[in-house]
Amino acid sequence: MPKVIFLPHEELCPDGAVVEAKAGETVLDVALRDGIGIEHACEKSCACTTCHVLIREGFDSLEPGDDLEDDMLDKAWGLEPESRLGCQAVIRDDDLVVEIPRYTVNQVSENH
């Protein structure tokens, strides 16, 4: 069973976390199941960038992203080559090391 290692994040998981995952789950679902409250303003529909994560190890083991995800990621704060949307990053069989960015762009809350 693959593990997802979440690096420490000041607010969401100050000590970091190691969470067991099942192949086919998304990084976001694994985080939420373990109480790591990654924002997901569009309710996991790939319509925002609030669940943006950085895959520090295991990036190539994920299911590839699609054009819609790539288009959304272009709007993410702190975009890097290892960026993925947590709601779209489907885990296969390898362990991952995930960093949650310090900031997120929430167009839903920022436009009100």
* Domain carrying residue 84: 3-89
Confidence of residue 108 (pLDDT cuts 50, 70, 90): very low
Whether 109 has a pLDDT exceeding 50, the answer reads: no
pLDDT of residue 61: 97
Quick check: is 94 in a domain? no
Q: How confident is the model at residue 102, as a pLDDT?
A: 87
Q: Is position 14 within any domain?
A: yes
CATH number at residue 83: 3.10.20.30
pLDDT tens profile 13-61: 999 999 999 999 999 999 999 999 999 999 999 999 999 999 999 999 9
User: Residue 100 domain-assigned?
Assistant: no
Which residue matches tokens 């593990």?
Answer: 3
Q: What is the pTM of this model?
A: 0.91
What is the per-residue pLDDT for 112? 36
Query: For 65-77, how does the pLDDT look when each residue is reduced to its tens digit (9 = 90+)?
Result: 999 999 999 999 8
Total number of domains in the chain = 1
Q: Is residue 25 part of a domain?
A: yes
Residue 112 contacts residue 85 (beta carbons within 8 Å): no
Asked if the structure places residue 109 within a domain, the reply is no
Whether residue 96 lies inside any domain: the answer is: no
pLDDT value at position 106?
63
